């Protein structure tokens, strides 16, 4: 089967700013593909080009086998969209919002009633179908948008930051629906996120930074590629601890999340040596396997939070040197 | 969940699909209107104030000057137009609201021509404005205008045409507006002078020539005049009073027939609609 999404050299520039600098990737049918990167990395721009909302400056892309520039209408028929910001009419009821969508997408009237019930039951909103959307919470609105995005049985569902701004409980509920969706519908899911925990749910992720794709692989393979464990220690004098680590072990460390943090090949085996040789009281120590955070850091040179706040990639630089 | 999945296969786009899209956009406008009582009431208060407060007050002032006709009767067709114009503008403004709240995006990413959405919106605005005008029509008896079926049908048609054109104008304005405040600012600036110069509030006879030129180039004049002609056609007014209150529109001394005025409004409406569609069809 052909790729659900196929992108070659896709580019978008606004004046002198290169928002997306020529990206290439393919998404297989049935895959959950994640675009991971900090805000401003070019995720939304890329998704908007794939959804035919903005015209690429260069390169090509096909979605469900149709070109996003020359076959705009065909692409639109075959995709479902859930945006970061709600696009519902609060003055209409949930069902009215969905019916509006069905008419615009030309869903055959014969199947509409059944389909409507099915997608609303999937997101557990069937019993609220007659309520006005303005009475819904943020999570309910997002669920309704997911139901709406599925109403016309799209081949590819685009989710732009589907859980941003939601509380953790709602986030996990949304993920429950997305996972259920993979089982019941014949669909490819393309999503963007800047939550590491969510990227774990994807079959494959593409890390995007400054408009370029840094790496594409499964979360497991990406984590395995890092190899090193992360060690964090608390001491009475972080400056001195960092200096001592460099002096005695040749390790570059940095203060991250309030703790002296560094990477070593086998963390557990290193801890006894650390206590014996550092020559500075250590209050606590933790060793963790590489997370996607570490993956992101090792490929882009900064943590996703730091990249967003725009300051300090000391840890990243340390990490990069240590590798 | 083990239930059978209902699969939908969306048919290729066709003309009937566009008609379906127009209908649903129109349907939504009507739902929104019916659900929003406050808007209905507020849109009504203004013309009622003009008609019964201003009309009565000014009427005492001019009673001696224009014998045989209540000033409020003169104002009546103007107030119908004003109601229709304001309602149509508000309907068009809802596009800005839709943009602010994201719903416009839902419409613009759908696999339908942007033209269908703009046409649906304009029809919606026209229907809603006509419905609002019906309430003013119902007050005809209070100002001495007879309830004649011929008059009512004529006025309804003229209201619809005027409302469609105004909505198209509003949608065009709304195409580039990002928030409601700026839309209403620009709307006030555009609509107020047009309304003053349309003959809705004072007769267009014996005006100084500069004012006469302005009223003649004002497209709203051609929407208001047919309604006044229709109302005065069903009144029993002395000729010289009719000449003052209902002078019609003249181009270099030639009196424009009503059908031409309506044609003019329709052409302007179609033109505005066309420009509005191209505005919405642009992508980044």
Residue B263 lies in a domain: yes
- Cβ(A64)–Cβ(A4) below 8 Å: yes
- Assess if residue B7 is contained within a domain: no
Predicted local distance difference test score (pLDDT) of residue A39: 80
What is the phi-psi region of residue B188: left when phi exceeds 0, alpha when psi lies from -120 to 50, beta otherwise?
alpha
Cα–chain-centroid distance for residue A31? 14
Q: What is the percent of chain B with per-residue pLDDT over 90, rounded to a whole number?
A: 40
Which residue, A44, A42, A58, A53, is CA-closest to A7? Answer: A58
pLDDT of residue A320: 47
Residues of A whose CB is below 8 A from B128: none
Residue B200 lies in a domain: yes
Nearest C-alpha of chain A: how many angstroms from B35?
8
Mean pLDDT, residues B90-118 taken together: 90
Asked if the C-beta of B266 comes within 8 angstroms of chain A's C-beta atoms, the answer is: no
Q: Domain range spanning residue B21?
A: 17-281
Q: Contact, A256 vs A315, CB < 8 A?
A: yes
Question: Does the structure show a pLDDT above 60 at B205?
Answer: yes
B232 within some domain: yes
Are the C-beta atoms of B75 and B55 separated by less than 8 Å? yes
- Which residues in chain A are contacts of B105 at CB distance < 8 A? 53, 83, 87
Cβ separation A103–B21 shorter than 8 A:
yes
Angle at the Cα of A276 from the Cα atoms of A270 and A278, rounded to 5 degrees: 85
In a domain, residue B210? The reply is yes
pLDDT at residue A186, rounded to an integer: 84
Question: Tell me, what's the pLDDT at B144?
Answer: 86
Q: Residue B10 falls within a domain, yes or no?
A: no
* Mean pLDDT, range B215-220, rounded to an integer: 92
The answer as to whether B4 is a domain residue is no
Please, which residues 79-118 of chain A have a Cβ atom closer than 8 Å to chain B? 81, 83, 85-92, 96, 99-101, 103-108, 111, 114-115, 118
The model carries a pTM of 0.81
Please report residues of B whose CB lies closer than 8 A to that of A142.
none
Of B19-23, B61-65, B233-237, the least confident: B61-65
Q: In chain B, which residue's Cα lies nearest the Cα of A114?
A: B6
Interchain contact, B8 vs A108, CB within 8 Å? yes
Q: What is the pLDDT of residues B173-189, one digit of tens each?
A: 998 888 889 998 998 89
Q: Is the pLDDT of residue B120 over 80?
A: yes
Q: Across chain B, what does the average pLDDT equal?
A: 87
What pLDDT is recorded for position B178?
85
Statement: residue B2 has pLDDT above 60? no
**Residue-wise over B264-276: b if at least 16 C-beta within 10 A, else e?**
bbeebbeebbeeb
B31 touches chain A (CB under 8 A): yes
Instruction: Give the distance from residue A25's alpha carbon to the nearest chain B alpha carbon, in angstroms.
Output: 23
Residue B39 at interface with chain A, using a CB cutoff of 8 Å: no
Across the interface, whether the CB atoms of B101 and A153 are under 8 A apart is answered no
In a domain, B189, yes or no: yes
**CA–CA distance, B104 with A42 (Å, rounded to integer):** 23
Q: What is the mean pLDDT of residues B21-39?
A: 89
Residues of chain A with pLDDT under 50: 310-323
User: B238-244: which pairs have CB atoms within 8 A and are 24 or more residues apart?
Assistant: B238/B67, B238/B68, B241/B66, B241/B67, B241/B68, B241/B69, B243/B205, B244/B66, B244/B203, B244/B205, B244/B206
User: For the ranges A9-13, A18-22, B64-68, B73-77, which has the lowest average pLDDT?
Assistant: B64-68
- Interface probe for B, chosen from A92, A106, A119, A134 (most Cβ of B below 10 Å), is A106
- A54 interfacial to chain B (CB closer than 8 Å): yes
CA B143 to chain A, closest CA, distance in angstroms equals 37
Instruction: Return the pLDDT at A37.
Output: 86
8 Å CB contact of B23 and A103: yes
**Residues on chain A touching B99 (C-beta within 8 angstroms):** none
What is the tally of structural domains in chain B?
1
Res. B96: pLDDT tops 70: yes
Least confident among B121-135, B157-171, B177-191, B236-250: B236-250
């Amino acid at each position: 089967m052909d790729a659900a999404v196929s992108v070659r050299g896709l580019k978008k520039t606004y004046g002198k700013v290169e928002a997306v600098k020529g990206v290439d990737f393919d998404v297989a049918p049935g895959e959950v593909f994640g675009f991971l990167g900090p805000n401003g990395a070019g995720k939304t721009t890329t998704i908007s080009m794939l959804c035919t909302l903005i015209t690429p400056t260069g390169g090509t892309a096909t979605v469900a086998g149709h070109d996003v520039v020359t076959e705009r209408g065909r692409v639109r028929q075959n995709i479902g969209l859930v945006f970061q910001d709600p696009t519902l009419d609060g003055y209409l009821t949930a069902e009215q919002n969905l019916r509006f969508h069905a008419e615009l997408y030309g869903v055959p009237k014969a199947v509409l009633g059944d389909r409507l019930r099915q997608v609303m039951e999937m997101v557990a909103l069937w019993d609220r179908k007659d309520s006005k959307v303005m009475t819904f919470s943020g999570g309910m609105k997002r669920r309704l948008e997911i139901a709406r995005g599925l109403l016309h049985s799209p081949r590819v569902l685009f989710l732009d930051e589907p859980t941003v701004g939601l509380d953790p409980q709602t986030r996990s509920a949304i993920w429950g629906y997305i996972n259920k969706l993979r089982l019941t519908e014949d669909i490819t899911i393309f999503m963007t996120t800047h939550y590491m925990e969510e990227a774990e749910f994807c079959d494959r992720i593409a890390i995007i930074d400054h408009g370029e794709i840094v790496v594409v692989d499964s979360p497991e393979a990406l984590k395995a590629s890092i190899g090193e464990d992360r060690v964090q220690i608390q001491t009475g004098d972080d400056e001195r601890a960092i200096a001592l680590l460099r002096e005695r072990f040749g390790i570059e460390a940095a203060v991250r999340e309030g703790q002296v943090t560094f990477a070593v090949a086998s963390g557990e085996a290193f801890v006894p040596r650390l206590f014996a040789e550092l020559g500075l009281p250590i209050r606590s120590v933790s060793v963790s396997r590489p997370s996607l955070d570490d993956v992101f850091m090792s490929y882009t040179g900064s943590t996703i939070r730091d990249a967003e706040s725009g300051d300090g990639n000391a840890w990243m630089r340390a990490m990069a040197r240590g590798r | 969940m083990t239930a059978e999945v209902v699969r939908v296969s969306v048919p290729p786009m066709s003309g009937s699909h566009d008609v379906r899209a127009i209908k649903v956009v129109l349907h939504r406008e009507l739902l929104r209107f019916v659900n929003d009582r406050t808007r209905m009431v507020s849109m009504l208060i203004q013309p009622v104030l003009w008609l019964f407060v201003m009309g009565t007050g000014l009427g005492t002032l001019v009673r001696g000057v224009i014998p045989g006709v209540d000033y409020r009767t003169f104002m009546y067709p103007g107030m119908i137009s004003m109601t229709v114009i304001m309602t149509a503008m508000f309907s068009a403004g809802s596009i800005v609201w839709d943009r602010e709240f994201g719903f416009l995006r839902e419409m613009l990413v759908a696999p339908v021509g942007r033209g269908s959405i703009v046409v649906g919106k304009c029809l919606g605005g026209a229907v809603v404005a006509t419905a609002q005008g019906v309430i003013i029509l119902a007050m005809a008896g209070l100002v001495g205008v007879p309830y004649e079926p011929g008059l009512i049908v004529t006025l309804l048609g003229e209201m619809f045409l005027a409302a469609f054109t105004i909505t198209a104008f509003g949608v065009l304005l709304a195409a580039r507006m990002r928030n409601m405040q700026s839309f209403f600012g620009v709307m006030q600036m555009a609509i107020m002078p047009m309304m003053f110069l349309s003959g809705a509030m004072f007769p267009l006879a014996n005006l100084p020539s500069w004012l006469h030129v302005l009223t003649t180039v004002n497209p709203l004049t051609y929407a208001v005049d047919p309604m006044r002609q229709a109302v005065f056609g069903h009144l029993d007014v002395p000729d010289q009073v009719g000449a003052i209150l209902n002078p019609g529109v003249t181009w270099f001394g030639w009196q424009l027939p009503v059908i031409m005025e309506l044609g003019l409004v329709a052409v302007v409406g179609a033109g505005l609609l066309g420009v509005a569609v191209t505005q919405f069809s642009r992508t980044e």
